Amino acid sequence: MKDSEHPFFRPLWRRVAIVAVCLVWSVVEFATGAPFWGMIALGFAGYAVWQFFYLYKPADDGKDSADTEPKE
């Protein structure tokens, strides 16, 4: 997750799915009696939320304001 600006992460559903998988993983770990791994999975989920929702800035796809103005 070092490159959170990668085009793979552009769709919102992928970012939500990654966070959801980390949360489900932590619940499974806590339910099976492995709190150490549950905390690590919660850490992954927290880091993913931080990177994908707080710091995430989607790319502009190379569109400048000059390109959107009509040409005469």
Give the model confidence (pLDDT) of 53-67 as tens digits. Answer: 887 776 665 555 455
Entry pTM = 0.72
With contact defined as beta carbons under 8 Å apart, do 52 and 15 qualify? Answer: yes
Angle at alpha carbon of residue 47, lines to 3 and 54, rounded to 5°: 80
pLDDT of 45 over the 90 cut: yes
